[in-house]
């Protein structure tokens, strides 16, 4: 009897303890959402475009009303309406853009002070997030809020941190660098420019657009890290620009937009020569393998048909080359290929391209 009562008492104590912990966790997440919401704004374009939402989301990055958001279509409109967390409404205008980062800075036209905001330098100084980290994705997706209603909140984890190769319609994603891929459906209409934060409310990234992954033909959910960088061509010179520098110089109205983005492919050497691409949809059959190359060491042979790279289907030469550009020297890359009637698997250790002998 004493033993039964002891177990019952222990179970009750454990249940009360778990309930208290759950309550504290919920309270903690709620407080975080409330604080982050104060540093965000709802954006509304005047006019809008047929078939595209005329609303979006932004993040305050100064107490005077400077807003970081994505460089999307609603900013083409002559006037942008901004709703801050308490329902106040302002007009804003674009003062800086950088398509290579898919980012823009807006400025509220009226004189405002002491707005809750993120110190961007402070946020970028923190370590990057890792796979499996808990996150909150906050935005005005689906135009849920129009006044002082809070932003929508979605909870999930970072599924992966990897290179973004997305497509919207026939256009490639403007930003082509490492992003946080999310296990939550966060990139909905109006969500672009929203905040990705951790459980403490620290800013991790900027929610991206609605995009399709060109490698696996699926919609993706991602955020551009606050530590993001891109290379641009400016007056004939290639320069690297960070999101932090863009925000700082944009607020100061000193940022000059790049002429164009420079797509830098990692392109580790594999030693595979594919068959001649006579038409656009030729499968990636191996034509030749360079002696001593990673492909040669892994055992690939002519006439092998490559089917998958790191689990991604590569039905054409173009898709194979596109995926392989993501992996730099030193990367281990798993390939699945068909040889005769058998499906085989190998791992390539990519290297630097071989040096071309100097001409005598």
The DSSP result for 305-357, as a single string, is EEEEETTEE--SHHHHHHHHTT--TT-EEEEEEEETTEEEEEEEE-BPPPPPP
Task: Say what the pLDDT of residue 237 is.
Answer: 80
pLDDT at 162 over 70: yes
Task: Say what the pLDDT of residue 164 is.
Answer: 78
Task: Say what the pLDDT of residue 16 is.
Answer: 46
Confidence band, pLDDT 50/70/90 cuts, at residue 336: very high
DSSP summary character for residue 51: T
Task: Say what the pLDDT of residue 328 is.
Answer: 85
Please state the rounded mean pLDDT for residues 288-311. Answer: 92
Domains 40-262 and 272-349 share a fold: no
CATH topology of domain 40-262: Thrombin, subunit H (2.40.10)
3-state secondary structure 260-279: EEECCCCCCECCEEECCCCC
Task: Say what the pLDDT of residue 338 is.
Answer: 93
Confidence band, pLDDT 50/70/90 cuts, at residue 47: low
What's the whole-number average pLDDT of the chain? 84
Please state the rounded mean pLDDT for residues 32-60. Answer: 87
Query: CA 192 to CA 210: how far, in whole Å?
Result: 8
The radius of gyration of the chain's CA atoms, rounded to the nearest angstrom, is: 25
Percent of the chain with pLDDT over 70: 82
Please state the rounded mean pLDDT for residues 41-67. Answer: 86
Query: CA 17 to CA 12: how far, in whole Å?
Result: 8
pLDDT at 102 over 50: yes
Q: In this structure, how many other beta carbons lie within 10 angstroms of the beta carbon of residue 218?
A: 8
> Where in the chain are the domains?
40-262, 272-349
Q: Give the CATH class of 272-349.
A: mainly beta
Would you say how long the chain is, in residues?
Answer: 360
Least confident of 74-88, 165-179, 194-208: 165-179
Query: CA 329 to CA 270: how far, in whole Å?
Result: 9
């Amino acid at each position: 009897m004493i033993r039964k009562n002891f177990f019952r008492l222990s179970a009750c104590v454990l249940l009360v303890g778990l309930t208290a912990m759950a309550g504290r966790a919920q309270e903690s997440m709620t407080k975080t959402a409330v604080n982050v919401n104060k540093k965000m704004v709802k954006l509304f374009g005047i006019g809008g475009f047929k078939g595209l939402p005329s609303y979006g989301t932004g993040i305050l990055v100064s107490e005077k009303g400077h807003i970081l958001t994505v460089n999307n279509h609603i900013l083409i409109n002559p006037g942008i309406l901004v709703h801050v967390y308490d329902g106040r409404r302002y007009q804003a205008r674009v003062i800086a853009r950088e398509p290579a980062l898919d980012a823009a800075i807006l400025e509220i036209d009226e004189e405002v002070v002491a707005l809750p905001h993120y110190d961007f330098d402070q946020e970028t100084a923190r370590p990057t997030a890792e796979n499996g980290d808990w996150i909150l994705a906050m935005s005005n997706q689906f135009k849920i809020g129009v006044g002082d209603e809070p932003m929508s909140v979605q909870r999930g984890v970072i599924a992966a941190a990897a290179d973004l190769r997305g497509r919207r319609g026939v256009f490639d994603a403007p930003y082509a660098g490492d992003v946080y891929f999310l296990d939550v459906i966060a990139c909905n209409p109006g969500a672009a420019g929203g905040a990705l934060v951790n459980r403490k409310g620290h800013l991790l990234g900027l929610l991206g657009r609605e995009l399709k992954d060109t490698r696996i033909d699926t919609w993706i959910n991602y955020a551009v890290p606050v530590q993001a960088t891109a290379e641009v061509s400016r007056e004939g010179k290639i320069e690297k620009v960070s999101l932090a520098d863009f925000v700082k110089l944009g607020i100061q109205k000193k940022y000059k937009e790049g002429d164009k983005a420079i797509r830098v492919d990692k392109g580790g050497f594999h030693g595979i020569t594919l068959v001649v691409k006579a038409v656009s949809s030729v499968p990636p059959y191996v034509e030749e393998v360079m002696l001593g190359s990673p492909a040669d060491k892994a055992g690939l042979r002519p006439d092998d048909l490559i089917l998958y790279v790191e689990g991604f289907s590569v039905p054409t030469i173009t898709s194979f080359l596109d995926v392989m550009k993501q992996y730099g020297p030193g990367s281990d890359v798993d390939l699945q290929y068909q040889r005769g009637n058998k499906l085989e698997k190998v791992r390539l250790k990519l290297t630097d391209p071989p040096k071309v002998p100097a001409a005598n």
